Amino acid sequence: MRRASVFRLSMAHPGDVSALDRLITDGTVRAAEVVAVIGKTEGNGGVNDFTRGYFTQSLMGLLSRHLNRPPARLIREIPCVLSGGTEGVMSPHYSVFCISAGAAVPREFPSALAIGTAFSEPVPAEEIGRRAHVESVASAVRSAVGDAGIERLEEVHFVQVKCPCVTAARAAAAVAAGKAPRTSDSSRSMAFARAAGAFGVALALNEIAPEDFDDDSLLTDFSIQSPRASISSGIEVECNEVVVLGNSSGWSGPLRIAHRPMIDALDIGAVVDTLADLDIEARPQVASGAVSRIASVLVKCEPDRRGNVRGNRHTMLDDIDINAQRHIRGAVAGLVAGVVGDGRIFVSGGAEHQGPDGGGLLAIIASQRPDGSA
Amino acid sequence: MRRASVFRLSMAHPGDVSALDRLITDGTVRAAEVVAVIGKTEGNGGVNDFTRGYFTQSLMGLLSRHLNRPPARLIREIPCVLSGGTEGVMSPHYSVFCISAGAAVPREFPSALAIGTAFSEPVPAEEIGRRAHVESVASAVRSAVGDAGIERLEEVHFVQVKCPCVTAARAAAAVAAGKAPRTSDSSRSMAFARAAGAFGVALALNEIAPEDFDDDSLLTDFSIQSPRASISSGIEVECNEVVVLGNSSGWSGPLRIAHRPMIDALDIGAVVDTLADLDIEARPQVASGAVSRIASVLVKCEPDRRGNVRGNRHTMLDDIDINAQRHIRGAVAGLVAGVVGDGRIFVSGGAEHQGPDGGGLLAIIASQRPDGSA
Amino acid sequence: MRRASVFRLSMAHPGDVSALDRLITDGTVRAAEVVAVIGKTEGNGGVNDFTRGYFTQSLMGLLSRHLNRPPARLIREIPCVLSGGTEGVMSPHYSVFCISAGAAVPREFPSALAIGTAFSEPVPAEEIGRRAHVESVASAVRSAVGDAGIERLEEVHFVQVKCPCVTAARAAAAVAAGKAPRTSDSSRSMAFARAAGAFGVALALNEIAPEDFDDDSLLTDFSIQSPRASISSGIEVECNEVVVLGNSSGWSGPLRIAHRPMIDALDIGAVVDTLADLDIEARPQVASGAVSRIASVLVKCEPDRRGNVRGNRHTMLDDIDINAQRHIRGAVAGLVAGVVGDGRIFVSGGAEHQGPDGGGLLAIIASQRPDGSA
Amino acid sequence: MRRASVFRLSMAHPGDVSALDRLITDGTVRAAEVVAVIGKTEGNGGVNDFTRGYFTQSLMGLLSRHLNRPPARLIREIPCVLSGGTEGVMSPHYSVFCISAGAAVPREFPSALAIGTAFSEPVPAEEIGRRAHVESVASAVRSAVGDAGIERLEEVHFVQVKCPCVTAARAAAAVAAGKAPRTSDSSRSMAFARAAGAFGVALALNEIAPEDFDDDSLLTDFSIQSPRASISSGIEVECNEVVVLGNSSGWSGPLRIAHRPMIDALDIGAVVDTLADLDIEARPQVASGAVSRIASVLVKCEPDRRGNVRGNRHTMLDDIDINAQRHIRGAVAGLVAGVVGDGRIFVSGGAEHQGPDGGGLLAIIASQRPDGSA
């Protein structure tokens, strides 16, 4: 019986993987058991945020030294999903997901956190943001669900996907080859890729049926959404990378995951309810003794595209000094951190079709042991 | 018996005072009864934020037309305190404080919101940020408390002060005249002015005694603080402008005010407790039916100068893309708005000596009537 | 014989029109002779730049007091074109264009600066960025050329147009009325409006013929451009406002205007050549004695959309910390100010179809008198 | 006889050292001959700019692979000086300085570019920004001049120094050990370190004498400056790293260096004159055929601290949206790139005591061969 562990580690700067190095060196973490990393780095979160690449290079270099395998290979096996931007009270950190072969110890809880990963085939430029892309993601998600050994889809609580997008250069190459990419604008392409990722998750989890959408639905019909899809998109990947998190009776260990959609940026109830699903009270904040039970907090959010929150005008979308995604991350992180009492939370923007329009979603992994020990 | 009213109005842009114009035109507000305005405009909140000046010019122009008195006079009689920066979910708005002569109607509640204002003499450049400045503020605060007719100092809940600071030009003039200003750096001078304002409030409210501090205490000894002082500083004023808000048995009307210090940027308990003081529940959010009871939410906050929040590193102070005050305003506003369910809140940075170091303070004005009618 | 004057005035902040107030008070400028204002304010230059509105309100208030006419009327008669953003060495300033009735003094130069203005009818939302808009601009430009009394179109050197654009609200209203606006994205609409303005200028100046373009040419065929069109677009206007500047034998006074296209952001030759057209040497900089001959410098520029300048990658388009238009304005202003030896220059972004793609254009007004007296 | 080469290479992002990799692989560059790197990366240039660390990690990783030596050793032998921020027309690039053992070919020019490097001992926290720091830099500069074999100090044209500074943590440690660091504010410490570096260069080059200054002169007496000192400061170094560039009859090859102080941000004459020193005409721009003669352009600049340029107010210092150093870099780069016709220039801010106050300095390396071949 496999056992999932999550190590949430702080970094002093985006090239600092010393905390993981120490855990590997002292034997707490076995490098070969690392299956995925999800983290927040202190960049701006935009196209010109290089803190993600810096951290990834540092992480893969570290694992390469410990595993004696080339970084270029590891990067195709271990999803490393980073969101730039630690606005406000967020603290730069990364969660290392590990799977160890089950010990012979008796099961402690009826079910426990299950992790599965998968990589799709490369997505051709002309397919990005279209049905073929959606199906490629769906297929990889199904594969990762299988990898996790999760039998019932309602036990899937969070699916992180990293999708490729079309750069101006890739778009030009596709056109030269007689193909028609959906857009040649890289930032628009990133949004289409995130939409395709969300549709793919919804499809794999049977939240929508194949006939429920066509290409025009992406970035248009926001009634189509998955409250379990967290999608990022970047020029650095060519295939879809998937991490599925859920609960399964086939796994041991004290961890458990729960999730909720967020109706809008003020939906504090979603945070409190998700904690309640994990038997953690927040009245109004998680008690200091229980903070250590929380292993990871994962949030997606989006500035409301209609320009207001509960009827009051917001100014995020028209601000050319601060990017709208930086605004919303800072606000939602302030709310979520206030409830959980901790700034080491993953709050990521670009939540098109990921939870309700104008809102987003939230997942929390916590220990089922009252003392929070892992 | 006087009666205080608060009208919280939205603006479409910083020159938009049409909402107040409508209320004056339809008779809801009498222009002569406007005694103070506190608002949030959608600038950057820094030295080069001109949305404050634009709004002030627009407001005084409007009142001038209705009162047939020159704007230059009104600006010396009606404190207009604006904080720039509506980061995240904050919505640009302004609260108009009015006092009407008491009608002969019987008193509804044992005590009610009381408002007092005062203007000090101009503060010479060489006194700014020194004891003489502290005493000038204290004297004006005492005068405003008297103006409000508040008899017990514990009934004062929020004191807004706008202090002058030294520009490079004023500093040079002072030096030429043989005086020694505390600093000639304008942004440092603003911080010293805010510190003097906070000390002045603490002194007037008997929170500290005259012998508890000297000039060196300002911006150094952060154990000295007032949880009821909200100070702004700007080059556009030459004297201290004071608005005192409290509760008094000498006032009628349904409004009431309460306040709490905020321990740090995650102190959600302070929000919930202040609401509880006003008999408003937040479990975890104010119920939609009770949101309209809230007339004004006033918050001061500050990025923790030690670089972490509850032991986790934050990145606000070292970010040269987004000013640290913009970061913290967005985060704290996200938290407070999530609890009160409304983005029309006043969250202002620069909270030196205003509430606990690394935290700040919060005051809420609400109707005591269950249906929120005013 | 009419005589044109240009007063280039500094402002201490965007609400400061005291320099013009002094000139009016001391009799140098007659308020009734002010026909147009073109200036740079220290905002960010984006949708959320309110320094333009603040200055306009201040200017119209000043003229209203001197002319005893309501500001709402003046704003429809006197084009006030402001570009926000004084990046780098640019200095906030405004050029006041005045026309005085000709004195009986003998003509000093064979031709002199001529000014004409015009306002079109309001442009319906569904016409913005389409041929009808182009023709509306062209018609107003022809009217302004007539107003200026310029007989030969090659004597027109600079046409400033301020065009309306479609806000989300206007677009929704148009759709509700059964009309189809070109776009409902306000920033895209601004770009279409600038394109229509440039096409309109080109059409009016016979640079293109009506059959040379259709609606699809706007923002697509960048070979269509006018090196004399300077277009801004904003939500605050409903009709096209036009200022035509040229030289004419029908005008007196010492001023003269010249212009050149700029090939790219490094085209220093355009600056030197325009100065040479005005008999001003720059080797490499205008001599300090000749700097005062220059009355106004007007520049349009654009970050190269292909992502490089002379084969070297630039980073302006992908930067989410600093808007691309702020980048390019700062760079081109650094170059132009270095040649003319003065930071009081008007450098504006958003130069689609205004001069060569990736470059822009430049116009300079200077005194023909060697001592620069006006 | 040694021979210096400079390879100016473009990068696609801050982790991209592929251009150097290709040159090493094809034999153009021998990895062991690389002695220093000076470059511009596309970060924000502030404390939270991690593009410098990312590039350095990538570069040292590359050299490590080719030299089979650990990166941690190389970083202490090869100065890698990076300035973040490619505002406006600047293009991300890096100049690789190499020294090859002299071939037996006859000398081509009477003197040629000479390069020397040196590393000082670590500077204790309490010495940073004080005389001991100045002397440490001066000693290292003398050592680097010796390393370069430059006999006459007037043949030194550019001295790049990277100095350590005090972080909050280092300052606290020093205080705990009973030492008194000059400041515990990291950004102030960086400025003091740059000042100490400039004084050290001036001292080593006999521009000032030891009795000309004391600790109070740093950041106060701006009449003390060196037009050949280019200083950066960072938390990532503990000792002073020095690169000296000059001309010497002891070196072969076609390259030569010249420099000039810049009086202010508009000093285009300094650019033209430096080019003239290298027999390159700019009328007003370097002819396209001669652009390839230029091997490297190195500039330091600073926003004028008095708030104006040639009497006109600038807005750089009060802008909280764009850092003042980003403003000035963009403006000066626009000017210099316009004259040299190339955006691959190194323009760095923080020029305290490095050239005239409010201005800075400029050095250019160019081939003496008319065809620019190297």
Out of B46, B168, B320, name the one closest to residue D44 (CB): B320
Size of interface A-D (CB pairs under 8 A): 40
Contacts with C344 from chain D: Cβ below 8 Å: 312
Q: Which residue has the tokens 């930032």?
A: A187
- Whether D334 and C330 lie within 8 Å, measured CB to CB: yes
Pairing of strands D294-301, D346-348: parallel
Q: Do B330 and B44 touch, CB atoms closer than 8 A?
A: no
Determine the distance from the C-alpha atom of residue B236 to the mean position of all C-alpha atoms in its chain, rounded to a whole number. 16
Q: Do A257 and A158 touch, CB atoms closer than 8 A?
A: yes
Report helix, strand or coil for A65.
Answer: helix
A104 contact partners, CB below 8 Å, separation of at least 6: none
Find the chain C residues whose C-beta atoms sit closer than 8 A to any C-beta of B: 13-15, 42-43, 48, 50-51, 53-54, 57-58, 61, 321
Out of C54, C61, C321, name the one closest to residue B53 (CB): C54
Subunits with at least 3 CB pairs below 8 A relative to chain C?
A: A, B, D
Q: Do D224 and D202 touch, CB atoms closer than 8 A?
A: yes
Do you know the residue count of chain D? 374
Stretches in chain A below the pLDDT threshold 70: 103-105, 374
Out of A315, A321, A337, name the one closest to residue B86 (CB): A315
State yes or no: is A248 an active-site residue.
no
Beta strands in D67-182 (DSSP E): 80-84, 93-100, 112-122, 156-164
- Whether C334 and D339 lie within 8 Å, measured CB to CB: no
Q: Which residue has the tokens 């919303």?
A: A328
Q: What pLDDT score does A104 carry?
A: 63
Q: What pLDDT score does B308 carry?
A: 94
Amino acid, res. B43? G
Taking every pair of C-alpha atoms in chain D, what is the biggest distance, in angstroms?
Answer: 61
Q: What is the pTM of this model?
A: 0.96
Q: What pLDDT score does A374 carry?
A: 65
Question: Angle formed by the axes of helices B324-340 and A324-340, to 10°?
Answer: 60
Residues B47-67: b if buried by 16+ CB within 10 A, e if exposed = bbbbbbbbbbbbbbbbbbebb
Taking every pair of C-alpha atoms in chain B, what is the biggest distance, in angstroms?
Answer: 61
Pairing of strands C308-309, C312-313: antiparallel
A198 contact partners, CB below 8 Å, separation of at least 6: A225, A226, A229, A231, A352, A353, A354
Q: Do C10 and C317 touch, CB atoms closer than 8 A?
A: no
User: Does residue C102 carry a pLDDT above 80?
Assistant: no
CA–CA gap between residue B197 and residue B191 (Å, rounded): 10
Q: Do D218 and D74 touch, CB atoms closer than 8 A?
A: no
What is the CA angle D281-D283-D288, rounded to 5? 70
Contacts with A307 from chain C: Cβ below 8 Å: 168
Q: Work out the end-to-end distance of chain C between its first and last CA atoms, rounded to an integer number of angstroms.
A: 17
CA–CA gap between residue A44 and residue A50 (Å, rounded): 9
Q: Which residue has the tokens 């009859």?
A: D249
CA–CA gap between residue C363 and residue D280 (Å, rounded): 29
- On the 0-12 / 13-18 / 19+ scale of CB atoms within 10 A, A152 is exposed
Q: What pLDDT score does D266 carry?
A: 98
Residues A124-146: b if buried by 16+ CB within 10 A, e if exposed = bbbbbbbbebbbbbbbbbbbbbe
- Whether A88 and B330 lie within 8 Å, measured CB to CB: yes
Q: Do A226 and A357 touch, CB atoms closer than 8 A?
A: no
Pairing of strands D80-84, D34-41: parallel
Report helix, strand or coil for C289.
Answer: helix
Out of B89, B314, B342, name the one closest to residue A89 (CB): B314
Sign of the torsion formed by the C-alpha atoms of A274, A275, A279 and A283: negative
Q: What pLDDT score does B184 carry?
A: 82
Compute how many other C-beta atoms are within 10 angstroms of the C-beta atom of residue A61: 17
Q: What pLDDT score does C374 carry?
A: 65
Determine which of C50, C268, C329 to mutate to test the interface with D (most D C-beta atoms within 10 Å). C268
- On the 0-12 / 13-18 / 19+ scale of CB atoms within 10 A, A371 is exposed
pLDDT (tens, 9 = 90+) of chain D, 374 residues, equals: 899 999 999 999 999 999 999 999 999 999 999 999 999 999 999 989 999 999 999 999 999 999 999 999 999 999 999 999 999 999 999 999 999 987 666 778 999 999 999 999 999 999 999 999 999 999 999 999 999 999 999 999 999 999 999 887 788 889 899 999 998 888 889 999 999 999 999 999 999 999 999 999 999 999 999 999 999 998 878 999 999 999 999 999 999 999 999 999 999 999 999 999 999 999 999 999 999 999 999 999 999 998 999 999 999 998 999 999 999 999 999 999 999 999 999 999 999 999 999 999 999 999 999 887 76
Out of C13, C42, C50, name the one closest to residue B13 (CB): C50
Determine the distance from the C-alpha atom of residue C151 to the mean position of all C-alpha atoms in its chain, rounded to a whole number. 21
- Whether C44 and A320 lie within 8 Å, measured CB to CB: yes
CA–CA gap between residue C128 and residue B175 (Å, rounded): 57
Catalytic: which of A184, A189, A232, A296? A232
Find the chain D residues whose C-beta atoms sit closer than 8 A to any C-beta of B: 44-49, 168, 186, 307, 315, 318-321, 323
Write the DSSP assignment of B115-152 as a string of letters.
EEEEEEEEPPGGGTTSHHHHHHHHHHHHHHHHHHT--S
Compute how many other C-beta atoms are within 10 angstroms of the C-beta atom of residue B238: 16
Out of B47, B168, B318, name the one closest to residue D320 (CB): B47
C163 contact partners, CB below 8 Å, separation of at least 6: C123, C128, C133, C137, C193, C194, C196, C197, C231, C232, C233, C234, C237, C240
CA–CA gap between residue B315 and residue B9 (Å, rounded): 34
Strand partners, B363: B259, B298
Sign of the torsion formed by the C-alpha atoms of B329, B335, B340 and B342: positive
Q: Where are the alpha helices (DSSP H) in C149-295?
A: 168-176, 186-204, 268-277, 288-291
Do you know the residue count of chain A? 374
Q: What pLDDT score does B254 carry?
A: 95
Report helix, strand or coil for A34.
Answer: strand
State yes or no: is C162 an active-site residue.
yes
- Whether A53 and D54 lie within 8 Å, measured CB to CB: yes
Kindly list the averaged pLDDT for each block of 10 residues, start to end, along chain B of length 374: 96 97 98 98 94 97 97 96 97 98 78 97 95 98 98 97 88 90 87 97 98 97 98 90 97 96 98 98 95 97 95 94 97 98 98 97 96 73
* Chain mean pLDDT for chain C: 95
- Whether D51 and A50 lie within 8 Å, measured CB to CB: yes
Contacts with A49 from chain B: Cβ below 8 Å: none
CA–CA gap between residue C286 and residue C342 (Å, rounded): 9
Find the chain D residues whose C-beta atoms sit closer than 8 A to any C-beta of A: 13-15, 42-43, 48, 50-51, 53-54, 57-58, 61, 321
Q: What digits encode the pLDDT tens for the residues A330-345?
A: 999 999 999 999 999 9
B52 contact partners, CB below 8 Å, separation of at least 6: B14, B41, B43, B82, B84, B234, B236
- On the 0-12 / 13-18 / 19+ scale of CB atoms within 10 A, A336 is buried
Give a three-class secondary structure readout of B63-91: HHHHHCCCHHHHCCCCCEEEEECCCCCCC
Q: What is the nearest CA distance from C252 to chain A, expressed in angstroms? A: 44
Q: Where are the alpha helices (DSSP H) in C50-162?
A: 51-67, 71-74, 131-148
Q: Do C91 and C343 touch, CB atoms closer than 8 A?
A: yes
Q: Do D122 and D238 touch, CB atoms closer than 8 A?
A: yes
Q: What pLDDT score does A234 carry?
A: 84
Q: What pLDDT score does C47 carry?
A: 87
DSSP A242: E
Contacts with B320 from chain D: Cβ below 8 Å: 44-49, 323
CA–CA gap between residue D91 and residue C284 (Å, rounded): 24
Subunits with at least 3 CB pairs below 8 A relative to chain D?
A: A, B, C
Catalytic: which of A162, A233, A252, A367? A162
- On the 0-12 / 13-18 / 19+ scale of CB atoms within 10 A, C365 is buried
Nearest Cα residue to B199 out of B168, B221, B166: B221
Q: What is the nearest CA distance from D59 to chain C, expressed in angstroms? A: 20
Cα atoms in the 13 Å half-sphere on the side-chain side of D214 = 1
Q: Do D242 and D205 touch, CB atoms closer than 8 A?
A: no
CA–CA gap between residue B119 and residue B122 (Å, rounded): 9
Q: Where are the alpha helices (DSSP H) in chain D?
A: 18-25, 51-67, 71-74, 131-148, 168-176, 186-204, 268-277, 288-291, 324-340
- On the 0-12 / 13-18 / 19+ scale of CB atoms within 10 A, C294 is buried
C226 contact partners, CB below 8 Å, separation of at least 6: C159, C198, C201, C202, C205, C207, C353, C354, C355
Q: What pLDDT score does B104 carry?
A: 63
Contacts with C91 from chain D: Cβ below 8 Å: 308-309, 312-315
